[in-house]
Structure 1
């Protein structure tokens, strides 16, 4: 995973986003739709209509970066449009990018004994 700045907040843009948008279009969406500064160092995550494609927009102080991830199977768990932009932790973003339900991650089975 990409190492974001320690104090960076992660925002999930509720609802669906047109995945044809690039950096300028998504940055404008952050500024006008989410009412946030796209150059402040926060991480903004957008999901497409099909639910299997994400785009992550981040400005590191030097330049803007745009990352994309597509799941081969399944869909990303996403907040509803009524929720608006939802703040999540970096750990929850890691779950999300792995296709795990970030709202309620579950531990896998662990052995009780070594032998």
Structure 2
């Protein structure tokens, strides 16, 4: 789990991103296409065309970090817009990275009795 400081915003980059890009390429995309400062301390999440790989770019005040996660099964739930960014909460990001639909999380099982 990424230790997100309070006040940090999480942004989802809309559309598909070339997953061959590294730190510098994604930071340049944040700066030029999303019109945001990649060194401001916010997290930016990118998804590839297949939908099973996500990369997170974060500047923690000391340097850039790049995190990657690939799902064994399923795809990351992504907004349907083509361009721009969407802000989500840290808990929604945690759900998304676990493969849960962060837009409408549902309990899958609930106990019916204590004994």
Same fold (TM over 0.5): yes
Aligned residue runs from structure 1 range 1-115, under 5 A:
1-82=1-82, 84-115=84-115
Task: Output the CA distance in 2 between the equivalents of 1:83 and 1:57.
Answer: 18
> Do the aligned residues in 2 keep the contact of 1:15 with 1:81 (CA within 8 Å)?
yes
TM-score normalised according to structure 1 size? 0.96
> Do the aligned residues in 2 keep the contact of 1:5 with 1:60 (CA within 8 Å)?
no
TM-score normalised according to structure 2 size? 0.96
Following superposition, the deviation at residue 112 of structure 1 comes to 2.7
Following superposition, the deviation at residue 103 of structure 1 comes to 0.6
- Classify the secondary structure of the residue corresponding to 2:27: helix
Equivalent residues, number = 115
* Runs of 4+ residues over 2 Å off in structure 1: 80-84
Give ranges in structure 1 of 5+ residues lacking alignment. none
> Do the aligned residues in 2 keep the contact of 1:14 with 1:82 (CA within 8 Å)?
yes
- Show CA shifts across 1:18-41 (max 9, x none): 000000000000001111100000
Task: Output the CA distance in 1 between the equivalents of 2:83 and 2:114.
Answer: 45
Give ranges in structure 2 of 5+ residues lacking alignment. none
